[in-house]
Amino acid sequence: MSLFDQISSDIKAAMLARDKQRLEALRGVKKEFLEAKTAKGSDGDLPDETAMKILVKMVKQRKDSAQIYIEQNRPELAEGELAEAKIIEEYLPQQMTEEELKTALKAIIAETGATSAKDMGKVMGIATKQLAGKAEGKAISAKVKELLA
């Protein structure tokens, strides 16, 4: 079952369960998926890799919004954003631990032959493709800087 179909069936389940928070989050996801499917240059299909990228982007947006709400002393709004982020994260692969990330990045650094911070671009290009959905870009970048320093 594709991610799009999974979201659609989970929307029906959330409706039946009258789970308002989950329903709202999943409807937002489906909206983004439909926009990607019908976007100019799209063939009307939504591969799971593209869907994963959309989900990662949506989680990041929710977390950023929650951070802004917290800074503006609006915890009730931040809670809603974080709850939606948690629901969306359920559809992403398990996030890597710091140790797993470090091991994966060391392998990529060895593969590219990177030796200094000048080679960070080469490493990041490969790392972001290989680790998409498994680790946040910020975490990958910080770990690569640390390992190349």
Residue labelled with tokens 């929307």: 11
What are the residue boundaries of the structural domains of the chain, listed by start? 3-89, 98-148
Residue 66's Cβ-count burial label (10 Å; 0-12, 13-18, 19+) is: buried
pLDDT for residue 27 is more than 80:
yes
Name the average pLDDT for the chain: 87
Q: Which of 6-15, 28-37, 102-111 has the lowest mean pLDDT?
A: 102-111
77 or 141: whose pLDDT is higher? 77
Q: Which of the listed CATH numbers 2.40.128.120, 1.10.1510.10, 3.30.70.1350, 1.10.390.10 matches domain 3-89?
A: 1.10.1510.10
Is residue 103 scored above 80 in pLDDT?
A: yes
In CATH, the number for domain 98-148 is 1.10.10.410
